[in-house]
């Protein structure tokens, strides 16, 4: 258990939990036929988006999708690394990290 009392995310290597934030490692798949979580590969959550990478459209769609799934405002998500790469680190700022972790685990499960 970390100092903030949030559940550890050891079973999900693509997610780290801290006080008031959750950080996730994502591989974006721009131009995918299906929008949403495709699965996980090693230490990353793989998310498909319809948009291509031109002018940040795929990033915008990725943030919009994750905000919708996590039920947080778009402004709560920030790409902190990899804005021009498929491999991204995204920070989610929230007053309830346990809720975000729970939801991420749900959407990250293999279907």
Q: Report the length, in residues, of the chain.
A: 111
pLDDT computed for residue 3 by the predictor = 46
pLDDT at 4: 47
Q: What is the pLDDT of residue 53?
A: 87
Task: Spell out, as residue ranges, where the chain has pLDDT lower than 70.
Answer: 1-10, 110-111
Q: What pTM value is reported for the model?
A: 0.87
- H, E, C per residue of the chain: CCCCCCCCCCCCCCEEEECCEEEEEEEEEECCCCCEEEEEECCEEEEEECCCCHHHHHHHHHHHHHHHHHCCCHHHEEEEECCCCCEEEEEEECCCHHHHHHHHHHHHCCC
Q: Cα(64)–Cα(81) distance, rounded to whole angstroms? A: 17
């Amino acid at each position: 258990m970390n100092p903030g009392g949030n559940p550890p995310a050891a079973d999900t290597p693509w997610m780290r939990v801290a006080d008031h934030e959750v950080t996730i490692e994502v591989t974006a798949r721009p131009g995918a036929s299906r929008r949403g979580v495709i699965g996980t590969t090693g230490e990353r959550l793989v998310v498909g988006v319809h948009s291509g990478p031109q002018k940040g459209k795929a990033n915008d769609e990725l943030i919009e999708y994750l905000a919708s799934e996590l039920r947080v405002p778009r402004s709560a998500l920030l790409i902190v690394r990899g804005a021009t790469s498929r491999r991204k680190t995204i920070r989610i700022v929230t007053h309830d990290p346990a809720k975000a972790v729970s939801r991420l685990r749900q959407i990250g499960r293999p279907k």
